[in-house]
Amino acid sequence: MASEVKADKLSPSGGTALQIGDASDTITIPTGATFTITDGLGVAGGGTGLTSFTAGDVFYATGTTTLAKLAKGSAEEVLSMNSGATAPEWTTAAATAGGTGQTGFTAGDLLYANSTTTLTKLGKGTARQGLQTNSGATAPEWVNSPQSLMTAAGDIIYASGANTLAKLAKGSDDEVLTLASGVPSWAAAAGGGAWNLLSTQTASGASDIDFVHGSGDIDLTTYKMYKITAVDIDSSDDDVDLSILYSDDTGVSYETTNYENMIAYLIYANSNWSSAKNSVADALHLETLGNGAGETCSFEFTFSNPAGALWKAAWYTAVLVSADGPLTRQFYATSMWKSTADVDAIRFTISAGTFDGIFKLYGIS
């Protein structure tokens, strides 16, 4: 027969142990009733020994009769044993666990091993760089490739150090490649035993062409020998003369006296040689330039030491193509200006009309 005992508190009659029922008895707590264990239900009694939890907590044993809780980890962490192999922990997956050991990446990153059990990442390089092993042969690295350095037409690649590439941007027209502090550089052509281009002038419907000291043409100190080449000289009028004159005052006025030359020329059509020695009004005299179709003249004119204290010497060769015949006339000549003054300017002038052509001035130191 069931009986009901109502009490606010049950206490042991002696000591601290209170037993409810015997080993074979069943103790029932009806559905809907609340049974509160103030200090939690121990593991030996089938509980956890813990009184509260947070979503995601994980239980693990800290001893044969004790449970503990491990708070949840961060996103994408994995559960692994700690370094002492005594308890679980949340970590980024290591390479030994099939992970990377990294917590984040940027598009283009590369993974590589920096030990037998560790991976690390190499950030992406810049456009057109190449992947190579570093100087210590310990890890990959991004380095400049020839394609990444050449960013403009005319760039030149050179070694700026051992196993290091650099670029040299293109120079300006007529500059030459030289060395400066041991590396390539572009510079204006200078002495060194070779002809250096100093100036180019293109005549188009011109009556005169001048090369003048102080304007980037004639240099009275650096160069001792000069050469002027002229190609494709074409005159507007027929049967005219082309002359060279000197000036000792940078082109304010040109001298027409004290010249003397020896001219020899061969007319190819009949192989006749002609020669003359003249005291003339110019240092060079090319006769009978024509204006017919295809008629032209080209020459080389060389003169020495325009700042010298002696008379000024010059020599030239020229070829004149004539439609009369047709024939060619080849000139060989020497010339002098019987003056000790500086040659500060040189003028090419035509006796009538105008002329076209390309004139280049060279100097040798």
User: What confidence tens digit (pLDDT) does each residue in 104-136 have?
Assistant: 778 888 888 788 777 788 888 888 788 888 888
| Interval 76-108: pLDDT, tens | 777 778 888 888 888 876 666 666 777 777 888
Cα distances from 58 to residues 15, 61, 65, 97, 133, in angstroms, run 38, 10, 17, 20, 45
Q: Give domain limits for the chain.
A: 34-91, 125-188, 196-364
Indicate the average pLDDT of the chain: 82
Q: What is the pLDDT of residue 275?
A: 63
Mean pLDDT, range 41-63, rounded to an integer: 74
**What integer pLDDT is reported at residue 27 of this predicted model?**
78
Which of residues 358 and 304 earns the better pLDDT score? 358
How would you class 83 by CB atoms within 10 Å of its CB: exposed for 0-12, middle for 13-18, buried for 19 or more? exposed
Is residue 201 within 8 Å of 212, Cβ to Cβ? no
Dist CA 35 CA 30 (whole Å): 10
Helix (H) / strand (E) containing 146: helix 146-149
Q: How far apart are the first and last CA of the chain?
A: 137
Assign a CATH topology to domain 196-364: Jelly Rolls (2.60.120)
CA dist., res. 332 & res. 336, Å (int)? 14
DSSP 153-192: TT-EEEEEETTEEEEE----TTEEEEEETTEEEEEE---S
pLDDT tier at 234 (50, 70, 90 boundaries)?
very high
Which tokens go with 226?
Answer: 């000069």
Which H helix or E strand runs over 148?
helix 146-149
pLDDT tens digits for range 312-322: 999 989 898 88
- Give me the amino acid identity at 272: N
**pLDDT tens sequence across 244-265:** 999 998 878 999 988 888 877 6
The token duo for 256 is: 């027409």
C-beta of residue 331 within 8 angstroms of C-beta of residue 316: yes
3-state secondary structure at position 147: helix
> Mind listing the pLDDT tens digit for each residue in 272-288?
555 666 667 888 888 88
- pLDDT for 268 equals 60
Which region holds residue 98: left if phi is over 0, alpha if psi is between -120 and 50, else beta? left
What pLDDT digit, counting tens, does each position of 172-191 carry? 887 888 888 888 888 876 65
Rounded CA-CA distance 302/39 in Å is: 116
